[in-house]
Structure 1
């Protein structure tokens, strides 16, 4: 039921998926799947036996228009696949939903394989026809799509080989990851709530209590987290080794030079840009170690326990009901741009945000979308902390990004590479934090600075430390061919310690916290948080200096996959190609830290 309170919003706190299907047993499911299969088969029948689209730009335009229509109207099984992927995130332990999700996954892999010939052949045309296609005016809407295809040819296998990789991906990768996530999501423990009462909560709920200002509450919660992760670390050991082997095989087949090369290609970003980011941030781990040293001092301890690194300091531990969070985020967007506010209102009122923790629900938070024109959906696990308010702002950044792209681009450009995706989210998150901070008294300035620094440290330094952990993890696996949980844990501890420094204890049990870190399974994903945070700082400065600059930001957010990230940033006067740019953002973080150190005395 909607929640009405003294505001312009009528809030729904559960996803309303009725625009996709009427329910799990919707009788139209088979009909929708059959329509999608028919459309894919029509495309195959028309184009598979032809080669003229590889030579004539006019004919290629016709073929790409029809390929784009497939993505626009179906992108697999359309509303059916989208619906059941969302339902699975709501209830990962439901066997009926899992079965339907697996069935749809098999159908969609088969459909993707049927049209594999099109991009496979297109990416391998010779340089002369490539130039002809890229210079043809009517192909301009697809120009960057073609540029990326041509660039990927070096690593693209034959049609039969690509089909085999598609078919085996669920059993060699997806099922392993889902298994551990489902095991962990089912776990419940008796912990202390903020009132000191013993309550039974699911992991997705009680893990947030490790940040409690009440030491007993956070210590009991941390012990419960450690128990859950220790229980499942053996399964996670086998899971991680299996997907590392899967990645190794894929990389060897494709001839990828480095384990992270595939990620960079997928994200449309030069490896040298990511290397420069990692180099710049790693060289300034002194910033994060100084931060934790200051935090330990403010808490009156020599060392923080591993789970205490995110504890809120001072009188910032107020509760934020979801209604209050909506009000704060809504006010922020109204001050930035009226369209942002309109999109937010629709999301809140149309049931596009699933708010509260539940047993079996996916942990953490995300925003997702599928076809051009489909609604975006946000998943939260709201526990009334200030960080939950900024998380809502973060995920809404993704949703706004999706809507702007949908209004401006075709279906083949309807996405964002990771290298730009986290710019929108961190941009919005920081403005939301600034708005929430305005409600605090001047005496709280130091604690607000520490909270903002905590976000920056987590998004920049922790993610780069994780990226370096992944780099060494893949390297070590390829040398040894199997890694024990002890070896994985030792490697994890090494890299976490590198950015935390001596003021944070690598407490017993913390060596297993990689088990719960889902992004480690999305290989080399995490650099995007660091790059997004540092790039968004540049955009925030631009908007704060000139409010009209929000139109430049909106243009950037509307671009989708239509241009490379580097070109998009250069269009705004931002060169991400060297260490210098990243150091500018890091200098801003250090300036905040120096201010906090000065206030703390």
Structure 2
């Protein structure tokens, strides 16, 4: 059973320049950790899992269509309650990962959940043993059951890779002391790190934020502070990566997965050749995109050579003005409403009902996420809002996820979950709407240049950087299969993708080789990162269709979001005349980034 991925949280009020920042109200999940509602649901879950096994284990093949539908719907309700409990525990924990009470509560919930759901392990295994023709007959006999076919297809894609019932139960039982435990060690270690920048002690998020400061000396000092702390802890992070990669290799070998990436492709319901076409298109475009852009940026910064702390530097003419929360909210909501008032209406409760947690605080996990929780409740968005223009784009991005999750919830728990490759669609589209709104309002050539440069940098970070990350992961898992990796081994793999992706204008300061250590996706979700590039390329192609004036675009777009995980990417994109399995599809998306760089070069004249 898959529990919703926990999201990371923040704090209630910002600095004096940011205004009052919103915080989560988790009472829509449960009022408190000792609430009767939570105790009731936990007791129900334990009983229902046992009853479910008693009703169906060894009997799935004997059920008629109505009987199988009842089994699926009972399983779906178990999924809802289990997801609700773990969402509550996870969200509380990520609000302050250094709080031992929160950590204990989440760990205890996870243990109880694992024990309670062990009787369900038979379900997927037995379902996959159903004869294909028999299942087809059942689906043909009941339209309500046939609705779940996409869920069944994804389950049965794992059929060649499933183990014996006994082994599957063993893996289920030991999961809390396997990857989940190493994930938690990583999160707690990262949240507790402190970085001394010119005498000021900062969290990871606040230190990374300094890399976007106007002052070059500040950016350099932040880089050295990051390097010093990563080096001190590099053995821990190397141990986490070695263990998780080896655990994955063992399980993949037992499951007869042909490559380390296969499990992710199956989960994403995307073909390996589509991902390979995306990867190859982006790598081939490095010289036309990142290499060309960073050469331009070096000129703007007055530098012959760029250092790693210059990569995300603002342009010299860029304003250092902080964007307060109210202004950020208005900017994003206006952009959403400009596309369609319905989109702004869906987004509104995020701001008014305690669905966003925005500020930075000690112990809080870094990053920004949108967590769907469960379909009867609503998503929660987490930000680390510091008032930079990029933070406004992050709000637009995460809010896009939230809107998508609200719409997809109409499908019900089992069909709402969107594969990662399509999960980035609404978020990147929301960013693009916000960017175009700001670009249309640019009053001067300089303002337009700053906006274009910011967007190109975001796209390079989303496409080029993430594909470089994907290549790093591919190399890491291949190398780990040959034996234990030292920190220096992992550092070398990291550096092998950096110069290729960023280009010849960069020098790499001593210590940058450790910067793989803080990226959570490598730990939590191996090979997740290509989904960002997939989403960006897909949205660029989608936005081109929108810009061309398709009169039915909005209706088709909302239908796509509502579909959740009920349709394959081919079926979802067909109404727009797009096909992600066509290698030329990715070139369309990349040409939009290239066009922005062309315009930036033209603005130099």
In the TM superposition, what whole-angstrom CA distance separates every residue of 1:453-495 from its partner, at most 9, and x where no partner exists? 101111111111111111111111112x111111101110111
Aligned-pair distance for 1:307? 2.5
- Counterpart secondary structure, 2:197: strand
1:226-305 aligned at under 5 Å gives the runs: 226-286=227-287, 287-305=289-307
Equivalent pairs counted in the alignment come to 585
Match of 2:76 in 1: 68
Deviation at 1:28, TM superposition (A): 4.3
Deviation at 1:570, TM superposition (A): 2.3
Shift of the alpha carbon at 1:135?
3.4
Pick the aligned partner of 1:120 from 120, 125, 132. 125
1: CA distance between counterparts of 2:559 and 2:235?
Answer: 48
Q: Give distance in 2, aligned partners of 1:387 and 1:123.
A: 46
Which residue of structure 2 lines up, in the alignment, with residue 593 of structure 1? 597
1:348 aligns with 2:356: no
Structure 1 equivalent of residue 93 of structure 2 = 88
Query: Compared with structure 1, are the counterparts of its residues 136 and 514 closer, same or farther at alpha carbon in structure 2 (3 Å cutoff)?
Result: farther
Q: Give the TM-score, by structure 2 length.
A: 0.93
Alignment partner, residue 311 of structure 1: 313
* Structure 2 unaligned regions, length at least 5: 1-10, 14-18
Within a 5 Å distance, the mapping from 1:54-453 to structure 2 comes to 56-72=64-80, 74=81, 76=82, 78-138=83-143, 139-191=145-197, 199-286=200-287, 287-313=289-315, 314-407=317-410, 409-442=411-444, 443-453=446-456
Aligned-residue offset at 1:548: 4.1
- SS in structure 1 at match of 2:370: strand
Aligned to 2:584: 580
Contact 1:367 1:398 (C-alpha < 8 Å) held by counterparts: yes
CA distance in 1 between partners of 2:110 and 2:381 (Å) = 22
Cα distance change on mapping 1:133 and 1:316 into 2, 3 Å: farther
- How far did residue 211 of structure 1 move? 1.1
Q: Which 5+ residue runs of structure 1 have no aligned equivalent?
A: 4-9, 193-197
Checking the alignment, whether the CA contact within 8 Å between 1:282 and 1:461 is kept in structure 2 is yes
Report the Cα offset of residue 447 of structure 1: 2.2
Whole-Å separation in 1 of the counterparts to 2:79 and 2:340: 30
Residue 11 of structure 1 and its aligned partner are, at CA, apart by 7.0
1:123–1:149 contact (8 Å) kept in structure 2: yes
Instruction: Determine helix, strand or coil for the equivalent of 1:302.
Output: coil
Is the Cα contact below 8 Å between 1:394 and 1:429 reproduced in 2? yes
Bigger Cα displacement from structure 2, 275-284 vs 256-265: 275-284
| SS of match in other structure, 2:202 | strand
Pairwise CA distance, 1:112: 2.9
* 1:560 matches 2:569: no
Task: Report the CA distance shift for 1:84/1:485 in structure 2 as closer, same or farther (over 3 A).
Answer: same
Most deviating of 179-188 and 236-245: 179-188
Q: Is the 8 A contact 1:53 1:60 kept in 2?
A: no
Calculate the TM-score normalised by the size of structure 1: 0.93
Do 1:52 and 1:59's aligned partners in 2 also have CA atoms closer than 8 Å? Answer: no
- Aligned equivalents of 2:456, 2:236: Cα separation in 1: 35
Q: Following TM superposition, by how much is the alpha carbon of 1:52 offset from its aligned partner in structure 2, in angstroms? A: 4.0
Aligned equivalents of 1:532, 1:467: Cα separation in 2: 14
Report the equivalent of 2:6.
Answer: none
Give yes or no for contact 1:466–1:496 (8 Å, CA) kept in 2. Answer: no
SS across alignment from 1:115: helix
